[in-house]
Homo-oligomer: A and B are copies of this chain.
Amino acid sequence: MTEQIALPKALVADLGARARAAAAALAAVPSTAKQDALRHIAALLRAAAPEIEAANTLDMTRATAAGLSNALLDRLRLDAKRIAGMADGVAAVADLTDPVGGVIDTAERPNGLVLSRVRVPIGVIGIIYESRPNVTADAAALCIASGNAVILRGGSEAIESNRAIHAIFARGLAESGLPADAAQLVPVTDRAVVGAMLTAEGLIDMIVPRGGKSLVARVQAEARVPVLAHLDGINHIFVHAAADQAMAERIVVNAKMRRTGVCGAMETLLIDRAYPHIASLVAALRATGCEVRGGPGLRAIVPGLVPTTDADWDTEYLDAIASAGLVDGIDGALIHIAHHSSHHTDAIVTEDAAVAERFLRSVDSAIVLWNASTQFADGGEFGLGAEIGIATGRLHARGPVALEGLTTYKWIGRGTGQVRP
């Protein structure tokens, strides 16, 4: 029993010590060296596609025999096209501007001391993810590009695929003269290692969970290490009385139905009681195959809607279902959102700039949008080039997080012998 408890802790302590040493070395590496290494790794990934696919076949065979669902099998599967996409992703990260060394601000004090805040890597990042093996490459590339060491703990069902991808990273780093330990894969599938990572204060500086809600909930509940994550995306669109009809219908349909399974999908539609085209808006959404559940006021206008329950307003469907209800203008919308928002992404559709600005100012979410689809909630769409995740916490980084969110800063003071009076 003692051994079962001690082993994961000892393993994480070893991984953490190696990561810390690698992080210290990587922090001093010029941007070009990190970027060249990532381009080399991308080339190695392309060349190793057959081996990666063979490893993936082992995972797929075992997962199929274990009776995993088709959805899980699809997430697990790697083919030539997906491996090429993964390599392209790594090469794309190499093209991003390195935030490390950037000067946030600088000022000379009256005594002549010159103080600057300079961006530095966070240090050691833990990534805990599920069945998608491409996260191994995506996350490792972002951490390396920002000078961090990464400890990767993927799903046990993807262990062969992850080992094959990780081996390429270790080889590519070493061949590029960078520490191979900058990207480490937890070599065992023991679930207790996740618990040991979550409580590895001082060894791991930040944990990023990548996966479904149950994974994120477990990580948030157990972690002593800071976590960058979002649990829910219960995203609202408020169609205001002064919304353009065609724009409102286009945005609502896109926000819900473009892809229903993404965290930026609209889940709740709030319609201003004074909006003149309520029935048309609901009809447009239903015409796309979306089930619209309606509050009592809306059902009086649009017959045939499934009635909402209290739980609906707090549900992230991730499916072709939306809750919809009438609210009394911007005030009603703000009250509803304040009660039910998951602080992810909320949008208003209106031609009234003053109302829009009040919404943007008042809604307390990581992303607030005016006349745009909530499905833009994505690091790529935000111009970050990639994303390690979307954060709905209030500290450090919010919304889509990419390289800058993987850095912190230090104060550098350059003096000429100043002492404090």
Contacts and interface: CB of A to CB of B under 8 A. Distances in A.
A292 to B, nearest CB: 19
Interface string A390-420: 0001111011100000001111111111111
Nearest to A101: B361
A417 B247 CA distance: 6
A115 to B, nearest CB: 6
Contact of A258 (B393, B399, B400, B420): B420
B394 A123 contact: yes
A381 interface: yes
A305 interface: no
Contact of A413 (B123, B370, B420): B370
Contact of A244 (B122, B361, B417, B420): B417
Given A122-B395, A370-B414, A376-B413, 18 more contacts: A28-B361, A109-B383, A120-B364, A122-B394, A205-B394, A226-B393, A254-B420, A367-B413, A368-B410, A368-B412, A369-B413, A370-B415, A371-B417, A371-B418, A372-B418, A372-B419, A398-B410, A399-B410
10 contacts: A109-B382, A109-B383, A205-B395, A367-B410, A369-B413, A370-B415, A371-B417, A372-B417, A375-B420, A382-B411
A362 interface: yes
Interface in A248-298: 250-251, 254-255, 258
Nearest to A124: B394
B381 A420 contact: yes
Nearest to A418: B372
A395 B408 contact: yes
A365 interface: yes
Contact of A408 (B28, B244, B370, B394): B394
Interface in A335-369: 338, 356, 360-362, 364-369
Given A395-B122, A417-B250, A417-B251, A412 B371 contact: no
Nearest to A375: B420
Contact of A411 (B247, B366, B395): B366
Contacts of A410: 364-368, 398-399
A106 B112 CA distance: 33
A400 B417 CA distance: 21
Closest 3 pairs (CB-CB, A-B)? A372-B415, A254-B419, A247-B417
Given A258-B419, A418-B373, A420-B258, A413 B368 contact: yes
A145 interface: no
A96 interface: no
A360 B116 CA distance: 11
* Contact-residue bracket for chain A: 35 or more
Which of A27, A107, A338, A411 has most chain B Cβ within 10 Å? Answer: A411
Nearest to A122: B394
Which of A254, A368, A395 has most chain B Cβ within 10 Å? Answer: A395
Nearest to A359: B412
A13 interface: no
A270 to B, nearest CB: 18
A24 interface: yes
Interface string A160-195: 000000000000000000000000000000000000
A107 B383 CA distance: 9
A409 B415 contact: no
Contacts of A409: 398
Contact of A362 (B28, B369, B393, B419): B28
Contacts of A364: 24, 27, 120, 123, 410
Contacts of A338: 24
A369 B393 CA distance: 32
Contacts of A415: 369-372
A206 interface: yes
B394 A395 contact: no
A376 B418 contact: yes
